[in-house]
Structure 1
Amino acid sequence: MPLNTFVPAFRQTQRVVDDAFDFSQCASAHLYISFGAHRIRIGILDVPHNKFVALEDYEAERPCTVEQAIAALEQLSHTNQLLQEKKWQQVRIGIKNQQFTLIPETLFDQNAREEYLRLNAVVEQDQETVYHHEHPRLELVNVFTAPASLQAWTQQHFPQTRVEFVHQTSALMEGFLHMAERSTRPQLYVYVDKNYVTLVVLQGLKLEFCNSFYFTTAEDFIYYVLFVLQEKKMNPDQDKVLVWGELLLDSELHEVLRRYIRFVQFGKKPTGVGFSYRFETLFNHRNFDLYSLHFCD
């Protein structure tokens, strides 16, 4: 690492670990990492029991770049017990960025992945690697980028483990599918992150909309939500909106949601997977994208 590379401190904001989990059994567990420039979260799934048994959340104390976050992850791997384990049944990493596009599976050509992305994003070939993830139930493919230096770190750190990259939107779409009810009415799912909001509309098991928006004010945030409701002919006075992510009951974002939308409801942990009793101390609507990496098979 160059001497002039500044690595911001990441402070731990959440930690739960099941006392009964035996770290010597990591070879039969899945390691999930949610990676973004401002936040790194780590989760462990005990595969034989289909249960999350550990979660740690680290947040940057000041703004930083993706490369600085990768450097911080590398530093963390020298001291963090979860990351010091190198042999897992599987490692799956969720990438948080806006470098993604959704392609109908009937039109998808793996050799054209970069061309698809260039319609919506600037691809830096020397800094990014293009991946894709298939969604058979939605009949589409998510094409996205991940930092090349993050891929290099995983190859070095997990030499004996298969590492898979997926985009955050893929995890959210699969998680929401597990929560979706068969209905003739569209349903808006909202996931709030630091300065980003991802909006997904499902009608039954059919995807009607998925996009991620950058915002700096509560006015920007509610504009995107109301725009999607309007585009999908949903009624803010009648249709329920489900919300997950970094949102608190007394926050400005929650207040503006309640001001413009009559039925706002916090989401729950995903169904189809279990959780250690230790997770009862965490808000049910947080960490949904990390949990939903489990459904990206």
Structure 2
Amino acid sequence: MQIADINKKISIKDERLDIDKISQYRLSFFVSTEECQIVVFDVKKKQLLLFENYELNTSKSLEKNLEEIYNDHILIAAGFWKEIQVFMRNRQFALVPIPVFDRTLASEYVRLNERVDFEKDEFHYKLMDEIGAAVAFGYPSSLKVWFREKYPQLSLYFNHQAVAYLKGLQEQIKTKAPSSLYVSINNNEVQIAGYNLQRLAIYNQFKFSDVNQLVKLMLLTLQQFSTEGQLTPLVLHGIKEKADLYLPVLKKYFKNIELGKRPDGIIMHPIFNELEAQEYMEVLANL
């Protein structure tokens, strides 16, 4: 389906989605300037009911893209969801060890990593006790205004893709390896997390132009935390077309590489098997 210049690349719906039960459903958005995933999850039954992926028009603002999707989509325009979650896919983030984290300095942590506009951006944080760090992040104030206008009576939560990805990795960490590297590729962005003795040692996000630059980024990351080098076990998540494209080259550099798994504990109709097991892990981990 085409909404003006917006391309709906994936649309999978469980026919058990019941509009009369929306008050027990969570509506989640994973948004960047280039794409948006929209997910409906039955919180009561722990059941995935809808997954959609949109390629946005980068010549328009994020709010304008969302407005067009909202106006064309009868379901997400409903006003009585259990809650709304918005996960930002951007570089406005920073990880800070919890013992030294000061919540009043969230914006300053983010500013050390990426340019911000204190007049136009909002800042928040998420404490992640399981990794011993807080994720401070920023996002446009205009985006918060848009969601508040569309869902004025609902609980609205903003978060960052780093939180969802690291949360999802917790159940997939290799317990028998001294170090391990986890990589998630979505279009031309990569999330990279390194673990030492099952504890997070490094996390970052990068834009990259080709597989050679991707390999370089991965090797540079390995140098910072692993003594095993290219023998470090590598777990690869990401969209199928990119995994298929890059995997032959990655296998030349990394000796212990495998495709990642889907998060456990989610009830999914077989119709969602259209998604490969390693795809959209951070989106499904949020469920």
2:200 to 204, 207, 213: 207
When the two chains are superposed, the root-mean-square deviation of aligned CA atoms in Å is 2.0
1:153 partnered with 2:146: yes
Q: Aligned ranges for residues 15-94 of structure 1 at < 5 Å?
A: 15-60=11-56, 64=58, 68-94=61-87
Task: Between 188-197 and 266-275, report the one with greater CA deviation.
Answer: 266-275
1:278 corresponds in structure 2 to: 271
Q: After TM superposition, give the deviation of residue 123 of structure 1 in Å.
A: 1.2
Rounded to whole Å, the distance in 2 between the matches of 1:103 and 1:249 is 31
Q: Aligned ranges for residues 1-297 of structure 1 at < 5 Å?
A: 9-60=5-56, 64=58, 68-235=61-228, 238-248=231-241, 251-294=244-287
Per-residue CA deviation, residues 119-177 of structure 1 (Å, 9 max, x unaligned), is 22221123211111110111211001111111011111111211111111111000001
Rounded to whole Å, the distance in 2 between the matches of 1:178 and 1:94 is 20
Question: 1:14 is aligned with what amino acid?
Answer: I
Rounded to whole Å, the distance in 1 between the matches of 2:228 and 2:106 is 36
Question: Contact (CA 8 Å) 1:193, 1:245: kept in 2 or not?
Answer: yes
SS in 2 for 1:114: helix
Question: 1:56 is aligned with what amino acid?
Answer: E
Question: Contact (CA 8 Å) 2:174, 2:180: kept in 1 or not?
Answer: no
Rounded to whole Å, the distance in 2 between the matches of 1:197 and 1:127 is 26
Question: 2:47 is aligned with what amino acid?
Answer: K
Rounded to whole Å, the distance in 1 between the matches of 2:226 and 2:103 is 34
Per-residue CA deviation, residues 193-226 of structure 1 (Å, 9 max, x unaligned), is 2221110112354111100112112211110111
Rounded to whole Å, the distance in 1 between the matches of 2:243 and 2:191 is 21
Task: Between 266-275 and 131-140, report the one with greater CA deviation.
Answer: 266-275
Rounded to whole Å, the distance in 1 between the matches of 2:195 and 2:268 is 26
Rounded to whole Å, the distance in 1 between the matches of 2:54 and 2:249 is 27
Task: Between 41-50 and 80-89, report the one with greater CA deviation.
Answer: 80-89
Question: 1:240 is aligned with what amino acid?
Answer: P
SS in 1 for 2:241: coil
SS in 2 for 1:77: helix
Rounded to whole Å, the distance in 1 between the matches of 2:226 and 2:196 is 12
**Structure 2: 5+ residue stretches without partners:** none
Indicate how the Cα distance of structure 1 residues 37 and 48 shifts in structure 2: closer, same or farther if over 3 A, else same.
same
Per-residue CA deviation, residues 248-271 of structure 1 (Å, 9 max, x unaligned), is 377442222122112321112111
TM-score (norm. length: structure 1): 0.89
Q: Report sequence identity in percent.
A: 21
SS in 2 for 1:123: coil
SS in 2 for 1:88: coil
Rounded to whole Å, the distance in 2 between the matches of 1:250 and 1:55 is 20
Corresponding residue pairs, total: 285
**Structure 1: 5+ residue stretches without partners:** 1-6
TM-score (norm. length: structure 2): 0.92
SS in 2 for 1:285: coil
